[in-house]
Amino acid sequence: MVDQKRESIANPLRYTGMLPQEEMLEIGKKHKKLLIGLPKEDQQYEKRIGLTPEAVEVLVNNGHDVIIEKDAGVGARYVSTDYSEHGGFIVDSNEKIWNSDIILKVSPLTCKEIDKLKGNQVILSPLNLNQREPEYIKKLMAKKITAIAFENIKNEYDSKPIVQSMHAIAGSTSIIIAAEMLSNISGGKGVLLGGVTGITPTEVVILGAGTAAESATRAALGMGSFVKVFDSSVQKLEQLQNRLGVRLHTSIFHPQVFARHLLSADVLIGALDLHDTGARFFVTEEMVQKMKKGAVIIDLAIDQGGCIETSECHTLNDPVYTRHGVLHYSVANIPSRVSRTASIALSNILSPILLDLGSSGGIKPYLKANNSVRKGVYLYNGILTNERISDMYQIPFKDIDLLMAAF
C-alpha cells in the first residue's frame, strides 16, 4: 500500500485514469466566402433562374455574397426586390456578374458570354453537349474555367438529381401540352384528352420508362387516357409498373409492333434517354406518316437530338409545327413553361451544393471530398476532364480523379 502510494505521487496520472496520450490537433475546414453571380437569361428562350430569393437569403446568412442582374428572375415571376429583401445585391449591368467567383446559369453560356469572363472561375450550368461546337470548349479552356454540367451532377444515391427533377416536370407538363394541342383552341381536332362515359378514351403511347415517362404516364392515367408504354428494357418496364401500382399496357420496343400501335395513337410522347442507347431514331418518318391526322407528338429527348425522326428543335415562342398532318411539339427546355416550379426545384439542389462548397474552403477541397458533384466536372482549371468531349473534338483530357490526387 505504501509502495502504491509512493508510485501514485511519482506518477499521479496512473491512478486517476489520465494516462498521457498523443496530442490531437483539430483541423477544421476553412470556410471560404463565395461571390455568386446570377446573370439574366435570354427571356425569349429561358424563364428559369437557379436560385430562389429564399435560397439567396440562406447563402447570405452563411457569409456569402450573391449578386443578381436586374430582372433576372422575372421569367419565374420573381421581381428584383424579392432578392434584395433577402440579402441579394441587384446590379443593372452584368459586367460585375461575369467577375464573380461562381456563375450560376440555367442555360448554357454563349460564346459571347464566355468572352466576358475574367477567368479562373467556376461555372455551374447545363452543357447540352449535342448543341456545342469545339470552339466553345476551347474558349472555356483558355479562360482556365472549372465547369460543372448540371446534367452530369450526381447525388449520394448515384442518380442525377437535376436531370430527374427536370424530367419529372417535363413529363407531367407534356400531358398538359398534349391536352391543349388536341383542343380546338390550339388548332387540334377538338378531342378531350382522357375520357368521359360513353366515349372511347384517348390513346397515349409513351416511348420510354424513365422518370419523364413515369410522370407522363401518371398524368395521362389521371386524366383517364388509355396508356401504352414501350421501352427496350424489361426491367425498366417492370419497375415502372411496380411504382405506379396499377396494371397498364407495357411492351418491349419492336419497330413492327410499335408501328401498329401508333396507328391508333392520339398522342405520342418520346421520352427515351438516347445516352443509354445506340439508336439514333426510334420513331421513323414513315411511322409518323401513318399516324392519325391531328395526332400529337411531343419529343422530350429533343435536347439530345430527339428520338423521333420528324422532330425539330423549336423555342418556347414558336414550339408547334405540323409534319404529315401530325402536330409536333419539341422544345428542349419544357420545364421553363412552369418556370416558378422548375426554379424552386433547381434551387433546392443547387443551394446545398453552394453551401457545401463554401464550408469546404473552395472548389478544390470540395471536389476532392465530393465524388458525386465531381462527376459533373468537364473542365478543371481549363483542363478537359470529360472523355466523351475528348472523343468528339479530339482534345486531350485528364481523369478528374487523378487531377484531384495531384493538386
CA dist 68 and 93 (Å) reads: 10
Contact 129, 152 (CB under 8 A): no
Minimum mean pLDDT range among 171-185, 236-250, 270-284, 339-353: 270-284
Give me the chain's average pLDDT, please.
Answer: 90
Is 400's pLDDT higher than 90?
A: yes
Q: What average pLDDT does range 228-241 have in this prediction?
A: 95
In sequence order, what DSSP letters do the residues of 233-293 get, joined into one string?
Answer: -HHHHHHHHHHHTS--EEEE--HHHHHHHHTT-SEEEE---GGG-S-S-SB-HHHHHTSPT
* The pLDDT of residue 131: 80
Domains and CATH numbers, the chain: 35-152+339-406 (3.40.50.720), 164-332 (3.40.50.720)
* The pLDDT of residue 275: 61
Take residue 201 and report the three cell numbers written for it: 378514351
Is 187's pLDDT higher than 90?
A: no
Q: Hey, is 342 helix, strand or coil?
A: helix
Is 10's pLDDT higher than 50?
A: no
Contact 309, 326 (CB under 8 A): no
Give the angle subtended at the CA of 80 by the CAs of 363 and 45, to the nearest 5°: 75
pLDDT (tens digit, 9 = 90+) per residue, 260-288?
999 999 999 999 877 644 556 899 999 99
Is 332's pLDDT higher than 50?
A: yes
pTM: 0.88
Task: Give percent of the chain with pLDDT exceeding 90.
Answer: 77
Is 23's pLDDT higher than 60?
A: no
Most trustworthy range by pLDDT among 3-17, 198-212, 265-279 = 198-212
Is 7's pLDDT higher than 60?
A: no
Is 13's pLDDT higher than 50?
A: no
Is 94's pLDDT higher than 90?
A: no
Contact 296, 181 (CB under 8 A): yes
Q: Which of 354, 340, 349, 341 is nearest to 37 (CA)?
A: 354
CA dist 376 and 385 (Å) reads: 10
Q: Which of 304, 324, 322, 323 is nearest to 313 (CA)?
A: 304
Take residue 134 and report the three cell numbers written for it: 469545339
